[in-house]
Amino acid sequence: MKKIWIVLLVMGSLTFVIPLGMGIYYAIVGFSGLCFCGMRYGFSAFFDSILLYSYLCWPSYIVGIILIILSILKIKRK
């Protein structure tokens, strides 16, 4: 039963790791966002991609926080 809560903890953590991975990827490759005015690189692309992901997929952060809190409580209880 403890393995299930560990899996849920990892899944909850992934909701915060995925945007960071996308930001690093777009910082290297380039990011244009919703604009066709040119590519951005570096910290600007990193910040813009995380901001766009957070704006569009903000419910994933709430689900991730709930999964993390529940799994930590259940793991510590046992």
Bridge partners of 40, per DSSP, are 31
* Predicted local confidence at residue 68, as pLDDT: 97
CA 62/CA 44 separation, integer angstroms: 25
> Which amino acid would we find at residue 8?
L
* Predicted local confidence at residue 41, as pLDDT: 92
pTM: 0.83
Distance of CA 67 to the CA centre of its chain: 14
CA 7/CA 14 separation, integer angstroms: 11
- Out of 31-35, 58-62, 71-75, least confident range: 31-35
Which percentage of the chain shows pLDDT scores above 90?
82
User: What is the C-alpha R_g of the chain?
Assistant: 16
